[in-house]
Amino acid sequence: MLEYAKIDTGFKDKIASRPGGERVKNCYLCGTCTAGCPVSSLRNEYSPRRFMRMILLGMKEEVLSSPEIWQCSQCHVCVAHCPQDVRFADIIRILRQMSVEEGYAPGDMLKKVEDIDVDLRKQRIALVEELTKEMSK
């Protein structure tokens, strides 16, 4: 629910002032980002479009305290699909930085999530290598 006392009307401007967030106000909430997002397809709670709506409404506290901002895998599919070049993957990166800066998430959260992503990529390389071993024989 929208709590007017908590609304920060300058939230989108703060995002727009950081590298990668410049086009945040160009979003017209079409939902193309959510439709193509591989995390959204596995997890109903995760919706780039919903985050964009909350950002445009100024729901800073709800956005920065949401555990869902850490679910993005930074695949950039949303960036490739967006008709307005909003660059949602970069906006998520900014939201994470803000979340840590403003004390909603612990200081080492960015590093921990980055480590998980590196581990997953390593695992994928190893598993695909295993799968393709037979091909080179």
54 binds ligand SF4 (CB under 6 A): no
Q: Which is nearer to ligand SF4, 27 or 104 (CB)?
A: 27
CA separation, residue 59 to residues 10, 15, 125 (Å): 10, 12, 39
Q: Which is nearer to ligand SF4, 95 or 104 (CB)?
A: 95
Q: Which is nearer to ligand SF4, 60 or 87 (CB)?
A: 87
55 binds ligand SF4 (CB under 6 A): no
Question: Using the rule CB under 6 A, which residue among 2, 6, 10, 28 binds ligand SF4?
Answer: 28
Contacts of residue 85, defined as CB under 8 A and 6 or more positions apart, other chains included, come to 23, 26, 79
Nearest to 76 by CA among 17, 120, 19, 20: 20
CB 2 within 8 A of CB 17: no
CB of 117 to ligand SF4, least distance (A): 11
